[in-house]
Amino acid sequence: MCDYNYKKINEPLLIWYEKNKRELPWRSDPNPYYVWISEIMLQQTRVEAVREYFQRFVRELPGVSALAAVEEERLYKLWEGLGYYRRAANLKKAAELVMKEYKGQLPKSFEELKKLPGIGDYTAGAIASIAFEIPTPAVDGNVLRVAKRLAASYDDITREKIKRGLFETLLLTMPKDQPGAYNQALMDLGAMVCIPNGQPLCQECPLFEICEGRKQGIASELPIKPKKKARRQEEKTVLILEFQGRYAIHKRMAKGLLEGLWELPNLLGKMTVDQMDRWLVEHEVQDYRMELLGEACHKFSHIEWNMLGYWVKIDGACSLEKHFPDFIWVENTDLANEYALPSAFAAYRSRLEELLEEKS
């Protein structure tokens, strides 16, 4: 634990926030539902990208009851492009629970909020403070970075004990009358001034005079995070498989990476043209045309897919149920409007659009 006195940041931080806060769609009406949806979307997604998704999402699902009732397929379509689909699945589960246990209103308590699927300390703190003005810190990577630079602390911020320690400290020092503004001020300072990956913009910072990291010239070295393990590499062949103007998609297993989501058919390893020919013959496809779609790469948090794509157009007769029992075949418009494909397949999805355009 460091002994930096965080109380002294309150006043300059709040004055700075009043003048510099970001205009964000969920801030104009910080009701609990909006705060919740925006905070879940903002996990692992940039603010600029979230703006549009948020507006579309709340237009179609304006409250907890609509979210609880939405079909999974539609929910994933609204989430398409944001990635980490488990966040969307948890939103729906939590909404169902809120309908059942809390009469459709998000609970006004940090501890009760944390009982909902997908809501951890950070999100519960954000909802409690911003929507209900309950003094609760919201400690995420941004806040940890700002706090450790202020204190010139070499603590490893990936350790749970360090996060918990900062939560306890800020709980004592945060202003009790403006907890929502305070948490949002720290978020904005971290996003706009005390920025990650490089030099913080200390000259623009309201905490310039009281920042130990800046005074000691070590701010840009902080915070300390041990290097992540290298991602596991996986090679794949991705297929756009077309038959009579419809395209094959496949539902992934209910457990594991991209659980239960639709995907383009794919095979392990990068297949050569000869290997693809053999695979098609094994599936009793005789008459087809094949086109190479090139390589693409997608990084998940722990795995990296290195992909090679083919477009295979089946021309002759083919018993789809018999030879491809795991696939369903959908039109391109359905693919665009109804089925969400994870962004891992975005490169091939756009390639399909380009090819259809060229051929039309």
Residues that bind ligand SF4 (CB under 6 A): 146, 149-150, 193-194, 200-202, 205, 207-208, 211, 213-214, 219
Q: How far is the CB of 116 from ligand SF4 (least distance, A)?
A: 33
DSSP 8-state class, residue 230: P
Q: Which residue lies nearer to ligand SF4 by CB, 131 or 194? A: 194
Angle formed by the axes of helices 32-42 and 47-60, nearest 10°? 140
Q: Which residue lies nearer to ligand SF4 by CB, 99 or 218? A: 218
Q: Which residue lies nearer to ligand SF4 by CB, 128 or 193? A: 193
- Is the dihedral angle over the CA atoms 65, 69, 74, 77 positive or is it negative? positive
Q: What is the distance between the alpha carbons of residues 160 and 93, in angstroms, rounded to a whole number?
A: 26
CA neighbor of 149 nearest in space, from 203, 211, 199 = 211
Q: How far is the CB of 145 from ligand SF4 (least distance, A)?
A: 8
- Is the dihedral angle over the CA atoms 111, 116, 118, 124 positive or is it negative? negative
312 in Cβ contact with 239 (< 8 Å): yes
119 in Cβ contact with 153 (< 8 Å): no
First to last CA, the chain: 65
What positions carry a catalytic annotation? 39
Planar angle of CA 321, 260, 265, nearest 5 degrees = 45
Q: How far is the CB of 149 from ligand SF4 (least distance, A)?
A: 4
261 in Cβ contact with 76 (< 8 Å): yes
Q: How far is the CB of 195 from ligand SF4 (least distance, A)?
A: 8
Q: How far is the CB of 148 from ligand SF4 (least distance, A)?
A: 9
